[in-house]
A and B are shown apart, each in its own frame.
Chain A
Amino acid sequence: MSKYLLNKFLFMVDRDPELVERYRSEPRELVTWWEAEYANTVLNCHTDEASTWLRFDDVEREALATHDHVKLFELGAHPFLTLTLFIAVFERDNTEPLEYQKSYGARLAHFSMPYPDIAT
């Protein structure tokens, strides 16, 4: 399990308009591709300096592939990263202001303090 890698996925996809669209339309394919091609990229380094060991466990991979923000919260993914990417993916479907944002919170209503630890 790697909260860091979950966060790294959310961080990298959120900042790239093309990846945001691919995550919306083909999430499972995008997660598979990203894990194979980018999970071990050391940011800001030449590709020959890539790390070798980062990978999702099955639960993490499935949570990302199914847009399951509730499971990501439970796993300790950074809530700001999850929220901002998922707003990018789903806010456009709103029929009224903040509709998605409010439903996002409501689906987490069964969580009480303390929330899952987000330290990596």
Chain B
Amino acid sequence: MATVVAVIASTHHPFYYRASTATGEDRPPFADEWTSKILAFRETLTRARPDVLVMVGSDHFHQLWLDNMPQFLVGKAPFYDANWYNEEREFGLPRMLLKGQEDLSGHILRAGLDSGFDLAFSNELRIDHSITCPIITLRPEADLPIVPIYTNIFAPPLPQPKRFVQLGQAIRDIVESWPSHLRVAVIGTGHLSLELGGPRQFGPHGPDPEFDQRAVEWIANGDLDGCLREVTLDSLHSPGNATHGFMDFMLMMGVAGAGAKADYVDTLDLFHTMEAYFTWYPNGAPAA
């Protein structure tokens, strides 16, 4: 059976690529610290020596649209083109081509359906920055096959927070039941407090630093009960109008398991959001 060698959760700030590659006067003052933190974070994946990446993210109205919106969708394609014109335009993201792992995609779809998740699938999925940003930060070689899994955190009505947790728990079980000797890392990206297109956007910190602090503690401690007690679809409006992306962090807590303390935790307070980075090693930390 396959082994889950690392579970990784982070934000997917689309400006990292531009900030980290900028030089001279174009390089923002926070770029060096940000890059340094990313290099340390990247090492947590490198040490786990993964063969395959299962990647959880959210399409930002690039391919998935309101005429036919899935709640949870699994990509099943031999290759994935990545990033879109408007991401190139706005964030300077490069066009990418990532290889798929269709056998694991098929296994997740079959086993997911059999365990009660009515997963949608796509044989032609162009992925966006929620999945390419963790490739850029964690595996810039982009040399490992992926299985993309998209969640709807964007277009109401959304699934309940507990459903994200349950899907995370199911993904863990399903990956570990995959008849393969390959080493799998499950990587997911979401948000802490975030406001986009509203009055609290682009402030000196994230819109709700108090929520960010509590959220980091929930994730770092694997405190699923505490998190589920406080987080509802309604409550997530308060920390910022884009904070429902936090449910992808909750999904990753489900993958890691209730009570599982993260082996690696780091944060960075950027000008309008708190960046957060977590790694769990289900089978123990690999040697440095």
Per-residue interface assignment for chain B, residues 129 to 146, with 1 indicating a CB less than 8 Å from any chain A CB and 0 otherwise = 000000000000000000
By a CB distance below 8 angstroms, the chain A residues around B155 are 78, 120
A81 CA to B85 CA, complexed, in Å: 14
How many contacts A-B (CB < 8 Å)? 81
Q: Is the CB of B86 within 8 A of A88?
A: yes
By a CB distance below 8 angstroms, the chain A residues around B242 are 79-80
User: Nearest Cβ distance between residue B30 and chain A, in whole angstroms?
Assistant: 12
Residue A42 lies at the interface, judged by CB distance under 8 Å to chain B: yes
Once A80-B61, A113-B238 are accepted as A-B contacts, the answer to whether A105 and B200 lie under 8 Å apart by CB is yes
From A14, A83, A88, A120, contact of B196 by CB (8 A): A83
Per-residue interface assignment for chain A, residues 89 to 120, with 1 indicating a CB less than 8 Å from any chain B CB and 0 otherwise = 00100000010011011101111011101111
From B66, B84, B237, contact of A7 by CB (8 A): B66
Residue A43 lies at the interface, judged by CB distance under 8 Å to chain B: yes
Most B CB within 10 A of own CB, among A78, A91, A119: A78
Residue B116 lies at the interface, judged by CB distance under 8 Å to chain A: no
Q: Is the CB of B199 within 8 A of A109?
A: yes
Once A80-B61, A119-B157 are accepted as A-B contacts, the answer to whether A42 and B67 lie under 8 Å apart by CB is yes
A118 CA to B153 CA, complexed, in Å: 13
From B60, B67, B85, B89, contact of A80 by CB (8 A): B60
Q: Is the CB of A15 within 8 A of B241?
A: no
Q: Is the CB of B237 within 8 A of A80?
A: no
Q: Is the CB of A105 within 8 A of B154?
A: no
By a CB distance below 8 angstroms, the chain B residues around A67 are none
User: Nearest Cβ distance between residue B14 and chain A, in whole angstroms?
Assistant: 11
From A8, A79, A82, contact of B66 by CB (8 A): A8
From A101, A115, A120, contact of B237 by CB (8 A): A115
Once A8-B66, A73-B198 are accepted as A-B contacts, the answer to whether A119 and B156 lie under 8 Å apart by CB is yes
Once A43-B65, A43-B67 are accepted as A-B contacts, the answer to whether A15 and B84 lie under 8 Å apart by CB is yes
A85 CA to B90 CA, complexed, in Å: 10
Q: Is the CB of B61 within 8 A of A106?
A: no
A110 CA to B198 CA, complexed, in Å: 10
Of the four ranges (under 10, 10 to 19, 20 to 34, 35 or more), the interface on chain A belongs to 35 or more
A88 CA to B86 CA, complexed, in Å: 8
Q: Is the CB of A111 within 8 A of B85?
A: no
A114 CA to B200 CA, complexed, in Å: 13
Q: Is the CB of B66 within 8 A of A120?
A: yes
Once A15-B85, A80-B242, A81-B61 are accepted as A-B contacts, the answer to whether A114 and B237 lie under 8 Å apart by CB is yes
Once A43-B65, A80-B154 are accepted as A-B contacts, the answer to whether A108 and B86 lie under 8 Å apart by CB is no
Q: Is the CB of A11 within 8 A of B61?
A: yes
By a CB distance below 8 angstroms, the chain A residues around B24 are none
A6 CA to B96 CA, complexed, in Å: 31
Q: Is the CB of B197 within 8 A of A80?
A: yes
A108 CA to B195 CA, complexed, in Å: 12
Among residues of A, the one whose C-beta sits closest to the C-beta of B271 is A98
User: Nearest Cβ distance between residue A119 and chain B, in whole angstroms?
Assistant: 4
Among residues of A, the one whose C-beta sits closest to the C-beta of B200 is A105
- Name 17 interchain pairs, CB-CB below 8 A, sorted by A: A11-B61, A15-B86, A43-B65, A78-B154, A78-B155, A78-B197, A80-B60, A81-B61, A91-B90, A102-B202, A105-B195, A110-B199, A111-B198, A111-B199, A113-B238, A114-B237, A117-B156
Interface residues of A (CB under 8 A from B): 4, 7-8, 11, 14-17, 42-43, 69, 73, 78-84, 87-88, 91, 98, 101-102, 104-106, 108-111, 113-115, 117-120
